[in-house]
Amino acid sequence: MKVLKHKLKMRLPAGILLAATLLFWGLYDRYERAGPILVERPAIADASSVRGDCSETNGLYTLAVHEDGKSANVRFRINDVSQFSFIRVQGRLRTDGVVVGKNPWRCARLVLIQYDSGKHWIPGYHSLIAQEGTQGWKFYEHVFEVDPNAVYADLALQQLGTAGAARFDSVFVEPVRFKKSYPVWRVVFAALWIAMGILYFRRCRLDRRRLRVLILLNAIAIIFGTMMPERWIEDSSTFAREEVVKALQPPPQNPASQKPLPEKVVEAKSPSVQKKPVKPKEDERMERFNKLLEGVHGAGHFVLFASLCFLVYLSGALERRRNMYFGKVAFDILLFAAVTESLQHLTNDRTPGVSDWLKDMYGMICALILFIPLHWVLKRRLSGAEKSDF
C-alpha cells in the first residue's frame, strides 16, 4: 500500500498540471472580435443562393430531401474576407433520418468555403458540421483561418444526403483575432510543461533504460506530431493532392503527330453532338482526399503509441522487471497520451480530442497483445541463460 501511495504521489504534479491545462484552456477564449458581425441568424431573403426544399422561420432553417433525391443548399455570401485573419462560425444542427449519399460527405453540413479572385474554390479544411442519421440539437463552433488568396467566402447550409431533413439554428459568423494575453499564457504553460518534462526524465530514469534511444525518439515523434500546426498539415495535403491529380492526368498529345480524321467522322463529331467529359468538382475531390488524410492521421496516433508501448515493455523485459512494472508503465503511457493531447491547446489552430486519445489507447492494447507471447519467450530464454551460467 505504501508503494502504491508513493507511485501516485510521484505522478501527482503531472496530474495537477494536466488538470490545470485542460481547465484553463477549456474556459479561456483566445480570440476576440475583430470587426462587425458578418452573419447572425440570417433570413432566407439574405441568401445569395437557394436550391432545393429550404424554408426559414426566425433564423431556423429546415432543409429537406425527398424521394426525387434533389439536395438542398442555402448560401450566404461574405465579401472582403481578405481584411480578416480568422473567421469564427457557430451553429446548432439537428437531423431527422438523413441518409448518406454515395460519398461520406454527402450528409447534413455547415461549411465555410473560400474563393480567390478568379472565383475558384480554395482547397482546405472548411467543414464545421457533418452529421447523418437522427440526432438531437448539437452546438458547434470552429475558427477558420482566412487564406491569403481569399477574396470572398460562402457560408453554406447543406443537406446533401439522399433522404431526410436537417435543421440549422443560431447560425453566427464573426471575424476574430488573437487576444494580446494569449501569447503570454502560451509561454507560461509551455515553460511549466518543459520543467515537468525535465523532472520526470529523472524520476522515470529514462537515461538508464536499455532501449532509451528508441524510446526517446518515439516520444519526440509523438510530441512533434501533436504540436505540428494545422496549416502545415493542410499545405502538405494540398501539395499531395495536386501531385496525385498531375500523375493521373493523361500526357499532353502533340497535334502534329495526330492523323487527320476523315471528313465523315469530322461531321459526325459536330459541337452539338460532342459530349464533354464530366470532371468531378474540385471540392468533391478534396473532400475525398481529406477523408483519406483523416484515416492517415488516426493511423499515426495508433502506430506511434503502439510502438512506444511495445518499446517500453520490451525494455522492461530485457531489464527483467516484475509484472507489476508493466501495469505501472501502461498507466504512465496513458497519462503521457493525455498530456500530449492537452499540449495542442498551446498551438494556434489545433485542439485536443477524446477520439485521438482513444486511438492512442487502442494502439497500446495492440502492443500489449503482441508483447505477451514475446515476454513469455524472453523469460524462458533469460531464465535458461541464468541456469546455464550457473
Residues 156 and 200 in one domain: no
Percent of the chain's residues with pLDDT above 70 = 79
d(CA 146, CA 231): 11
What is the pLDDT at residue 257?
Answer: 57
**What's the CATH code of the domain at 129?**
2.60.120.260
Residue with cell 433525391: 69
Residues 24 and 117 in one domain: no
Residues 223 and 355 in one domain: yes
pLDDT in tens, 54-82: 999 999 999 999 988 899 999 999 999 99
Single-letter code of the amino acid located at 347: T
Residue with cell 470572398: 152
Q: Provide CB contacts within 8 A for 159, sequence distance 6+.
A: 52, 63, 64, 65, 71, 72, 73, 98, 107, 108, 165, 166
Question: Distance of CA 200 to CAs 138, 195, 203, Å?
Answer: 40, 9, 5
Q: Is residue 155 part of a domain?
A: yes
**For residue 104, what pLDDT band results from cuts at 50, 70 and 90?**
confident
**For residue 105, what pLDDT band results from cuts at 50, 70 and 90?**
confident
Least confident of 95-104, 149-158, 347-356: 347-356
Q: Provide CB contacts within 8 A for 124, sequence distance 6+.
A: 114, 147, 234, 238, 286
Residues 174 and 56 in one domain: yes
* Owning domain of residue 121: 33-178
Q: Is residue 259 part of a domain?
A: no
pLDDT in tens, 228-286: 776 666 666 666 656 655 665 566 665 555 555 555 544 444 444 444 444 445 555 55
What is the pLDDT at residue 202?
Answer: 79
Q: Is residue 247 part of a domain?
A: no
Residues 208 and 346 in one domain: yes
d(CA 277, CA 7): 67
Helices 212-227/323-342 angle, 10° precision: 30
Percent of the chain's residues with pLDDT above 90 = 50
Residues 144 and 200 in one domain: no
pLDDT in tens, 188-235: 999 999 999 888 887 777 778 888 899 999 999 998 888 877 666 666
Residues 212 and 125 in one domain: no
Residues 8 and 153 in one domain: no
Residues 51 and 188 in one domain: no
Question: Of 130, 154, 178, which marks where a domain is finished?
Answer: 178
Q: How many domains does the chain have?
A: 2
Residues 10 and 123 in one domain: no
Question: Of 144, 178, 212, which marks where a domain is finished?
Answer: 178
Question: Of 126, 152, 178, which marks where a domain is finished?
Answer: 178
Question: Distance of CA 21 to CAs 3, 24, 185, 335, 341, Å?
Answer: 28, 5, 11, 14, 11
Output DSSP code: residue 244: H
Q: pTM higher than 0.75 for the full model?
A: no
What is the pLDDT at residue 18?
Answer: 94
